[in-house]
Amino acid sequence: MLLPLIFFKWLESIGHDKEQSYWSAFLLMAFPHAYYFSMIYTESLFLLSGIAALYFLEKEQWLLYGVACFILLPMYEGAATSQPRFISTAFPLFMVLGGKLSKIKTSFHKTMVSIIVVLLHYASFIAWNNTWPLSY
């Protein structure tokens, strides 16, 4: 639950406006791969600690930066075998997409994009659950 919040706060700390930060966090959590973040996997902790390290580094909060790195570094051990970890490190893509989405003027178009993204998310979740039903 902390992942979208810390991602939002980090984006604001590096100069993104609130709307772009909001849409970037929304897309990160609604894109098809995000179902990994609700499973009992370490992917959400991996991405959270990585973004938290960047956020605390930007804020020069050295103790919290150290804690985030302490949590993050051991999880790199499984990164070579974990496909979701490779996907989760694509968070800069959501910074760009969030910026583009925040520039759309009409709420109708933003709503349509949001619905499409969420439907893709659910379709991916259903496909995953049908393939590996006991993994969730």
Q: What is the pLDDT along the chain (136 residues), one digit of tens a residue?
A: 888 899 999 999 998 889 889 988 888 888 777 777 777 777 788 888 888 988 998 899 999 999 988 888 777 765 555 556 666 666 777 777 788 888 888 888 888 888 888 888 778 777 767 776 665 5
SS3 42: coil
Number of separate helices (H) and strands (E) present in the chain: 7, 0
Name the pTM for this structure. 0.72
Q: What b-and-e string marks burial along 5-32, b requiring 16 or more CB atoms within 10 Å of the CB?
A: ebbbbbbbeeebeeebbbbbbbbbbbbb
